[in-house]
Amino acid sequence: MTTSTDFPIDETSRARLAEQSLTMRLVDPSDPDDHAAWFHAETRGFLGPTPPDEQVEARRTGFVAGRRLVGVLDATAADPATPVATTTCWPTDLTVPGRRSVPAWAVSGVTVAPTHRRRGIARALLDAELRTAIALGCPVAVLTVSESTIYRRFGFAPAALARDVTVLTRRVRWTGPTPTGRVHFVSPEQLREVGHRIVERVRLESPGQISYEGHLWDRQLGLAVGDSNAMNLRFVRYDDADGTPQGFAVYQLKEDPSDFVEHDVTLHALVATTTDAYAGLWRFLLEMDLVTKVSAHLRPVDEPLRWMIDDFRAVRVNEFDHLWVRVLDVPAALTARTYASPGQLVLAVDDPDGPAAGTWAIDVDERGEATVEATHEPADASATATALGSLYLGGVSAATLAATGTLTGDAARVDATFRSTVAPYLSIWF
């Protein structure tokens, strides 16, 4: 059986880049030199420092099964062994509405060296990845972005937003539920297994989450080799009244050198399987002595925190796009999720030369399950492929998309079908 790692390189893009005397090929992670050159290129592409050898090797051995690396090489460069462009992609499980998941092609590590930019290399790589995803049977592709201006042209659109929150803790009095369990300090090693089990237990709760392990999980814990910030991290686990772990938080403290009572907490992760654990961990963070501010990155848009303290305005919020989705196989993608209300919606998708194009009859039964088929019936609404990407997880309203002109027709009906009762959320970068 062909797997994502041995699936051949996309011939169309390979030939297109060969016209520029560039070689697009798979990188072999079992070959330390081949992998190291690719990893140095990717790190350089993201403006990072040159990684030490042990970090390069740890990344190589920490790759999860199915991770595919692609490099573009320029034989005329002074350093012809280091790729001038990179991607890495792998199959993951994307949570969709209905507490279920769909196979998704995670696209990451997209870089083109500044010496080779704006000559179509990224386009060749992205086109290749989308064709590869389709060939491997992934109905959607997903990514998180450095710049939100790049990926719309490839049919991706924001489907899950996220928030940075800053809490001015001196203004906070806890009014939420009184936690019944306990907070324990633990080491990252103590959290490695139990923390991952907690992450897995909540994964199906929010559309937009993806399965992750290996390096992506180690990075959350500061356990990735070469993580220069690791020594600054603190780890707490929340156990319920029966002593069962139900959540954890990873944070760091920063001192104000001019005033010891003005420490800042930066919260890197807070994952809870119960409201009790959620309240217990947040309350622990907000009531710490010598701390005036807690800043948290990548929090859900429907975080209950502000309803658990007496001063709503003690929390400042900055919202941004986070998970971008590209629908590649409309029937497979749309039947993978469930829908809020029964009935039929005929949706025309405008995707010039793209795989989502067509008019699709979406028939939702009483249980919220859909059958989706191509149809010649008149459409109730029309959407661009990017609008479909935003609709897919149920977090962006059709009314909003209608205002942008990317959706026309009966937006209320589209909303009645597509909206999710749970706001989509992805808790990591990848």
Ligand X SMILES: CC(C)(COP(=O)(O)OP(=O)(O)OC[C@H]1O[C@@H](n2cnc3c(N)ncnc32)[C@H](O)[C@@H]1OP(=O)(O)O)[C@@H](O)C(=O)NCCC(=O)NCCS
Which CB atom, from 133 or from 198, has the smaller least distance to ligand X? 133
Q: Are strands 381-384 and 343-350 parallel, antiparallel or unpaired?
A: parallel
Angstrom distance (rounded) from CA 430 to CA 425: 14
Is the Cβ of residue 25 or residue 306 nearer to ligand X in the bound state? 25
| Per-residue x/- track, 55-94, ligand X (CB under 6 A) | ----------------------------------------
Which residues between 135 and 174 bind ligand X (CB under 6 A)?
145-147, 149-150, 153
Q: Tell me: does residue 353 bind ligand X (CB under 6 A).
A: no
- Shortest distance, position 84 Cβ to ligand X, whole Å: 9
CA angle 207, 211, 212 (to 5 degrees): 135
Of residues 104-123, those binding ligand X (CB under 6 A): 110-112, 117-123
CB of 106 to ligand X, least distance (A): 12
Binding-site residue total for ligand X (CB under 6 A)?
18
- Structure tokens of 6? 């041995």
Q: Which is nearer to ligand X, 111 or 132 (CB)?
A: 111
Among residues 8 and 114, whose Cβ is nearest to ligand X?
Answer: 114
For ligand X, which is the closer residue by CB, 106 or 233?
106
355: helix, strand or coil: coil
Binding-site member from 11, 20, 46, 304 for ligand X (CB under 6 A): 46
Interatomic CA distance for residues 97 and 177, integer angstroms? 28
| DSSP summary character for residue 146 | S
Task: Say how far residue 273 (Cα) sits from the centre of its chain.
Answer: 19
Positive/negative CA dihedral, 166, 169, 175, 178: positive
Which one, 128 or 411, has the nearer CB to ligand X?
Answer: 128
Residue 113 or 387 having the CB closest to ligand X: 113
Minimal CB distance to ligand X: which residue?
122
Q: Is 22 helix (H, G, I), strand (E, B) or coil?
A: strand
> What is the closest distance, in whole angstroms, from the C-beta atom of residue 147 to ligand X in the complex?
5
Q: State the CB neighbour count (10 A cutoff) for residue 384.
A: 23
Q: Contact at 8 Å (CB) between 98 and 422?
A: no
Closer to ligand X at the Cβ: 42 or 410?
A: 42
Secondary structure of residue 192 in the 3-state scheme: helix
Residue 410 Cβ, how far from ligand X at the closest point, in Å?
Answer: 31
* Structural tokens at position 8: 């051949």
Q: Which of 258, 141, 230, 220 is nearest to 429 (CA)?
A: 220
Smallest gap from Cβ 72 to ligand X, in A, equals 9
- CA proximity to 345, closest of 395, 379, 368: 379
Which residues bind to ligand X, rule: CB under 6 A?
A: 45-46, 110-112, 117-123, 145-147, 149-150, 153
